[in-house]
Every structure is written in structure tokens, then in C-alpha cells.
Structure 1
């Protein structure tokens, strides 16, 4: 079995382990803040700092991959996850809000490396098969959508200090990831990459129309998803729906984000990466339209499900477009900059959505979707005409 084939089997499992930690932080971060008597204005600070940690770690993650190789970088990041879980868990036991926030921020470093698994799996894989490979990693995300919440259920009250067990379990997930990642195989990436790598400045990449278009599609797909998803549970409860109904809506949304990964790669191979990306953006716009039709539970759930499917098509498609838009020797820089821009917007969007919802309404928040999607689609259309 080739090194690439071995890695294609390992990365989805690594994704399932690595992507299980964010649901723990996102679902429990605010509750832990309350239990630690944090100031009311800072209740969402642990989740914000996690997202900020992801954004700030994307470029360092790309640097580590280039300097030390993927295996060494990913093993180190998994060790940081073990440390983050220990810091967060023990801070709950010791009633320290500041140290708890430090733990979630550290977890962002690991999450930034996990995000790059979708690029790593394409190494050594034929161009026409890369979309399918990326989809396999995202299937690992589907498993994580089940594992993460179940870890919370199993460990929430495991220790006398409520929630401490859930965050200490992050360390266990990190240890399991370390065991798995030791099995990764080196993959030859072509003569240019071996002869010294790229000297390309990161921002110079944005002058490449194909790369800029792919990044814009990824930023819009992920940014809008996080922007709407963060506010959705608050909006549902504020309009008379039960908390468990809001939670169920988010669960269906997360499943819709990853379930299409079973066939997204095949669709990209048949219809093209750009076309599937555009369909994803249109589905996100359609989710906003459904949200504007009413405030019944079916409107919220229908909107969230379409938002999840749209994210899957848009984000996986944009990831594949980024992978093909630059030569091999520039990929680590290109991928790092792409993720830095995406998760910077995600961090800002998750913070701003609550402010916008509180100052305006759920309907106004969804209106933001349409001009944003139109801008991304317009850029894709312009680039297609320019290159034809």
C-alpha cells in the first residue's frame, strides 16, 4: 500500500478525534463561565478565545508543516491538545476563569492543525481524486459531530466539579490522536517542493485571481455559517421555542454539514469543483430566504439544515479550488493564509452575530446573507470569464 493510500485512511479517523474537541468547548464554554461566576459580558469569552486561537494559529501551523513536516507538526499540536484539556479541566476544579479561558485558547492551536487535514489528505493523490479525498476527511467530521456531544453527556458529571470531566476528556482524545498520527507516512510532493520550497510572500497569493476567488468562496461559506449558527439558538428561544428544540435544530444542522460528504466528492468529480461551490453558496442564500418566511420551528430547522448542506458544498468545493489554484511548492503557504482569513472572519462573525441579533432582529441578521453571497458568486463568475 502506498504512503498516500495509508494516509487517506488515517486522516478521516484523525479528523474524527480532532474535530470532537470544538463541540465540547462550544456547548459547555458559556455554562462553565456561569459556574465560575464570570462577568455577564464575558460569558462567551472562552468560545471567542477558542475561535481566536484557531485564527491566530493557522499561519504558525503552516510554518510548522513547512519546516518540520506534517507528521511532526500534527503530533506537536496533539500534545498541545493534551495540555489544553488539562489546563481547562483543572481550572474548573480550581475555580479559575482566566485559566479556563487560557485552556480554550490553547485548544485553538490544535484545531488549526486539524483544519489542515483536509489539505494534507490530497498529497500524493491524483488531481481528479482530490475532491473525494477531501470528502473522506469531512466524513470524519460527521463522526466528530456525534462523538463530541456524547463525550459531554458521558463526562459532564463524572467529577465533583461539574464539566471538569468533559474538558479533561479532551486530553484523552489528544492522546488517542497522538497514537494514530504516529502511523502517518511521508509523501513525496514533487521535485520543486523537494528542491527548497517556495519563497513566495503570503500576501502575494492574493494577487492570483484563481486563489483569491477560492479563498473568497471559503470565507463566505464558513463565515456565514458561523454567523447564522451562533445566533440561531438564541433566536429560537427568544421567539418562544424550547431549549431542547433549539438544541435539536443545531444537531440537525451539524449533521447536515457533514452528511453530504459521502457524495460531495463524487459530485465535484462529475460536475466540477467551481459549480458545486456555487451551488453551496446558493443553498446558503436559500437558507436565509426560508428564515425570512417565518418564525415557526419548521422555518428555523429548515433554514439550519439548508445552511449546513450549503456549507458542505461551498466549503469543500472552495477547499478543492484552493488546492488546485497554486503549484505544489506554494501549497503550505496558500493553505495557511486561506485558513487564517477564514477563521479570522469566523471569530469576528461569531462575536458580531450576537450583537446584531440583540440590536436588530433575526430577520435582519439573515438579510446579511444575500449581498455577501452575491459578492462571492460575482467574483467566481468574473474569474471564470477572465480565464475562459
Structure 2
């Protein structure tokens, strides 16, 4: 019996078989659940490990999370180049092994008490996450037009499972290598990455198909000067950066209020579920109510998170606030991404998407880095108060864009 990877490219190109696509979706959804767990594990434990290793000054405690986000941003372009050169299957397998190695490096750093080594390991895990972000696109490669939306959605369901697997791994393994807290968690994460490797071994992915660009691509600077691009990018940056700012500080804030690491891990779990759960119907809501309405709803939910966070500091306040934060991110970021698609031509797609993602994850890294310092120096209240002026900026930008477009239609 031939190996899945050995299937001739001509057989795949001759006709798309949704039996292959369904099989790939199941594989990629499982790999998403396993490989995607690293983000929630680093978010749940990174600030706590950083605080333990740094001593009295906790201002850099969230740096491991910042490095993970920065690693994801840096890894996006190389991931695309590697997949074009070697194909998705080989690249995914290599990244899974990389995830295993970097998780073991993080465990070693925790055991040895080296903050900077742990931070660099988290950055490397972020680089691996850039490949995990491509799973949903891989699901579409062998799918028919009719099945493609469901294929993408089902792989995204793996993100929901990752949001459960990650925090539960933290809870079950935090004392595995006691008395060093969380060292065992990263050994377990290495095991999850290796399981993802075993699952991805059976992926049947075709080689990338070159397509001629349609039309003439404008300079990137010209595209980015468009009011529609500026507003879409701003809303995407604000939605993601505010989510990162509050989420990264939450575990430290919860521990500082006398709550347990289990409470903090479960808070992150519910937050991740709220982030990805609505994805199955967010597109339908955009189609029904319009993209601007959904973006505004997302910004309102982010403000709701700030209001709940400022009204109390018990478990229920943290959990409800993080659920609203996840929902706000989902509506705001997916809505902003939809707005972005109207800003470019087919020939400009890759260039504009890469520029937008680089901006988004660059600001997200800055937000997660600033989060620990803001919390340490100014308190939990200040972290949440920042939500309101930033969301007001987005609302003002959207209002101005709407007026400009209405004016243009009347000319």
C-alpha cells in the first residue's frame, strides 16, 4: 500500500475528491487541537513562571508571552516560503518536531531557573505556531467549493479543543516535576507536539499549485494609504492587541488577588472557547447585519469586559470578563479581516495580507509586553481602563470612513 504522501499530484489535480478532504479535515482538526494547545499553555503559565524567576521586579513577567506572539509574527513569512518550497505536509511535520524540541527546551529552562532561556523557548514555540495557523488553509486544498467552508470551520473546531487541552494539561501536570512548578507542563507539551507529528504523518496534501496573478498590483504604500485599509487594519490591531493586553495580565492579576492557578487556567480555557466558538456563525452574522455592525458589537463587548473587570475581583468577575473579551475579539477581528478583503485586488492579496498580519502581531507583541509592566506599576484597573479610549478611537475612525464613503457615492 502506498503512503499518502506518495499519491501522484496528477491524481489530485485531475479532480477534487471530498473523501480525501474529509479525511484531511479530521487529521488537521486533531493536529490543531494538539499543536494549538501550546498558546494557551504559554499564556496560562508564562507570566507565572516569569514572575517566579525574576525576583522582586515583576515588570518583565509577561515577556515570555510577548516573545511567543512575536515569534508567530516573525514566522509567518518563512512558513509560507517553506510550504511553497517543500509542501504543506513536510513543513507541518518539521514544525511539529520543532515544537517538541522547543517545549523540552522550555522545560529545561524552568528546571534550571533561566528566565531568558525560557523566554527564547517561548519565542521559538511562537514560530512553530505560525505553521499551526496554516492548518485551516491546508484543509481547503483538497476540498470542493461546496465543502470548503465547512472544511475550514471544522479545522477551527480544533482550536476550541486546544483551548480545553491546554489549560487541562496545566492543571494535571503543574506538579509533575515538583517542587519546580510547571516544568512538567512543558514536558507534557512536548508530548502533545509529538502526537501532532504522528497525526500529521497521514496527511494527504497536494503540492502547491501556481496561479497567474490577475491584474496589475499597486504599490503597497498606495494600498495602505486607503482610508478603508487604515480603518480595517486599525480595528484588527485594536481588537487583537486589547485582547492580548488584558488576557496576558489576567493570570498574574488573579494570583495577586489570592485566587489559585487552577482558577487562572480555567479562566483562560473559557476565554479561548469564547474566542473560537462563535466562528461557526460569525460569517453568517456579518452577511445578515453587515460587517460594521459586527465590528462595533465586538468593540462594545471589549468595553463590557473592562466594565466587568473594574466592578470586582472575584472568580466570577475574571471569568465573565474573559468570556466577553474572547467574544469581542472574535467579532472585532473577524469583522476587520472581512473589511480588509475589500481593500485589495487578486494580484495584491498575499502582499496586503502579510503586511496586515505583520502590523497586527507586532502590536499584539507590544501589548503583551506592556501588560506586565502596566499591571506591576499601575495595577489591574489601569490595564482595563485603557480599553475605553482605544475602542473610542476605532469607533471614531469607522464613523469617519462611513461619512467619506457616503460623500463619495453622492459625488
TM-score higher than 0.5: yes
Which moved further from structure 2: 177-186 or 126-135?
126-135
TM-score if structure 2 supplies the norm length?
Answer: 0.77
Alignment of structure 1 residues 107-186 onto 2, 5 Å = 107-118=125-136, 121=139, 135-159=153-177, 162=180, 163-182=182-201, 183-186=203-206
Relative distance call for 1:136 and 1:10 in structure 2 (3 A) is: same
- What is the aligned counterpart of 2:244 among 226, 230, 238? 226
Alignment of structure 1 residues 86-105 onto 2, 5 Å = 86-93=104-111, 96-105=114-123
Q: Distance in 2 between matches of 1:126 and 1:279?
A: 33
> Displacement of 1:106 after TM fit?
1.0
Q: Distance in 2 between matches of 1:240 and 1:117?
A: 39
Relative distance call for 1:137 and 1:277 in structure 2 (3 A) is: farther
**Which residue of the partner structure matches residue 342 of structure 1?**
360
Relative distance call for 1:308 and 1:214 in structure 2 (3 A) is: same
Q: Distance in 1 between matches of 2:165 and 2:337?
A: 24
- What is the aligned counterpart of 1:367 among 360, 385, 395? 385
- What is the aligned counterpart of 2:39 among 11, 22, 25? 22
Q: Distance in 2 between matches of 1:263 and 1:362?
A: 33
Which moved further from structure 2: 319-328 or 117-126?
117-126
SS at match of 2:206: coil
Rg bigger for which structure? 2
Relative distance call for 1:176 and 1:121 in structure 2 (3 A) is: same
SS at match of 1:312: helix
> Displacement of 1:147 after TM fit?
0.8
Which digits, 9 at most, give the CA deviation of each residue in 1:15-43, with x for residues without a partner? 22221012222333345456767784554
> Displacement of 1:226 after TM fit?
1.1
> Displacement of 1:346 after TM fit?
1.6
Which digits, 9 at most, give the CA deviation of each residue in 1:264-300, with x for residues without a partner? 2332343344432332122112222333445555444
Q: Distance in 1 between matches of 2:291 and 2:144?
A: 15
Q: Distance in 2 between matches of 1:326 and 1:127?
A: 22
Q: Distance in 1 between matches of 2:144 and 2:343?
A: 15
How many residues are aligned here?
A: 386
> Displacement of 1:11 after TM fit?
3.9
**Which ranges of structure 2 fall in alignment gaps of 5 or more residues?**
1-16
Q: RMSD value over aligned CA atoms? A: 3.8
TM-score if structure 1 supplies the norm length?
Answer: 0.81
Contact 1:23 1:148 in 2 (8 A): yes
